[in-house]
């Protein structure tokens, strides 16, 4: 079965290991432990992580510096690990209605869904007929990196500290994924535009203002990006390529 360009991106995001390295641990007392790390991905306050089979909640953080955690059991459980893995963001694509229905089903089952990457559509695909071209096709993706937001209590600064900055941090890692798979993506020719959306729920791309989006309150970043695909990638997009 032939893939489409979104399938290739989805596969690489979901199958790239997301490892948080713990450079040192500081006991703050009361069951709180500060985990110093040079890269914190999308982690921020209230997120939950599992370290050595123990679930912790993040109570404080400074991006790419540290996270402070406390065991959700209420017990004082010291962190002795030197690293732990986190789930990649959920990756969905399709219309607002279709994606919203899938997220509702996931939430109802109690599945973890935040943050997530939503590909609204492929705006267009540029191609060349030259059979010797190293990049036969360049799809333009409209991607949204979103996380839940507390509209009732958060200030504008909270939206940036908790969501915008951390999602920007993760987008940097997404670029690393593209660079890692140079056999599929011509990383050096990638072009992109980022747009920050505080209270994104008030707007739906291509539909204008709306009271809500995806049945939840979200803040995030819109990434409009052109990603040239190499011959290797294009060979995976269809069964028979001349």
Same-domain pairing of 111 and 43: no
3 state SS of 188: helix
Q: What is the CATH number of the domain that holds 66?
A: 2.40.30
Residue 240 within a domain:
no
Same-domain pairing of 194 and 168: yes
**How big, in percent rounded to 5, are the helix, strand and coil portions of the chain?**
25, 35, 40
Residues 6 or more apart whose CB falls under 8 angstroms from that of 63 comprise: 40, 44, 165, 166, 169
Q: What is the CATH number of the domain that holds 142?
A: 3.30.70
Same-domain pairing of 77 and 92: no
Same-domain pairing of 112 and 79: no
Same-domain pairing of 51 and 10: no
Domain boundary residue among 27, 60, 85?
Answer: 85
CA-based torsion, 227, 192, 182, 37: positive or negative: negative
pTM: 0.85
Domain boundary residue among 45, 60, 85?
Answer: 85
Same-domain pairing of 80 and 108: no
- Confidence band of 209 (pLDDT split at 50, 70, 90): very low
Same-domain pairing of 41 and 128: no
- Cα distance between residue 136 and residue 194, in whole Å: 25
105 or 39: which leads in pLDDT: 39
- Confidence band of 206 (pLDDT split at 50, 70, 90): very low
Rounded alpha-carbon distances, angstroms, from residue 110 to 17, 107, 114, 215: 23, 5, 12, 15
Per-residue pLDDT, 215: 55
- What mean pLDDT is predicted for residues 196-211? 57
- Cα distance between residue 159 and residue 30, in whole Å: 28
Q: Closest by alpha carbon to 64, among 21, 15, 18?
A: 21
Q: How many domains does the chain have?
A: 2
Same-domain pairing of 92 and 160: yes
CB 1 within 8 A of CB 237: no
- Cα distance between residue 170 and residue 159, in whole Å: 16
Same-domain pairing of 45 and 137: no
Residue 42 within a domain:
yes
Same-domain pairing of 65 and 129: no
Same-domain pairing of 207 and 170: yes
194 CB neighbour count, 10 Å cutoff? 14
Same-domain pairing of 95 and 76: no
Range(s) of the domain holding residue 98: 5-14+88-235
112: buried, middle or exposed (CB in 10 Å: 19+, 13-18, 0-12)? Answer: exposed
> Does residue 213 carry a pLDDT above 80?
no
- What mean pLDDT is predicted for residues 175-183? 95
């Amino acid at each position: 079965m032939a893939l489409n360009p979104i399938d290739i991106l989805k596969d690489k995001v979901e199958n790239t290991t997301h490892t948080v390295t713990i450079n040192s641990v500081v006991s703050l007392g009361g069951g709180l432990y500060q985990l110093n790390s040079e890269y914190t991905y999308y982690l921020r306050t209230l997120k939950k992580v599992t370290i050595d089979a123990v679930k912790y909640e993040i109570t404080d953080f400074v991006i790419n510096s540290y996270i402070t955690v406390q065991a959700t059991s209420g017990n004082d459980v010291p962190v002795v690990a030197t690293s732990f893995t986190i789930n990649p963001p959920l990756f969905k694509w399709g219309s607002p209605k279709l994606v919203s229905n899938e997220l509702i089903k996931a939430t109802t089952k109690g599945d973890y869904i935040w943050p997530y990457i939503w590909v609204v559509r492929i705006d267009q695909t540029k191609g060349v007929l030259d059979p010797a071209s190293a990049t036969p096709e360049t799809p333009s993706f409209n991607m949204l990196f979103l996380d839940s937001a507390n509209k009732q209590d958060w200030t504008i600064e909270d939206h940036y500290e908790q969501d915008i900055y951390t999602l920007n941090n993760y987008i940097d890692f997404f670029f690393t994924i593209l660079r890692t798979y140079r056999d599929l993506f011509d990383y050096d020719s990638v072009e992109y535009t980022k747009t920050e959306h505080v209270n994104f729920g008030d707007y739906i791309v291509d539909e204008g203002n709306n009271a809500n989006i995806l049945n939840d309150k979200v803040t995030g970043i819109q990434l409009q990006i052109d990603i040239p695909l190499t011959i290797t990638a294009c060979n995976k997009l269809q069964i028979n390529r001349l």
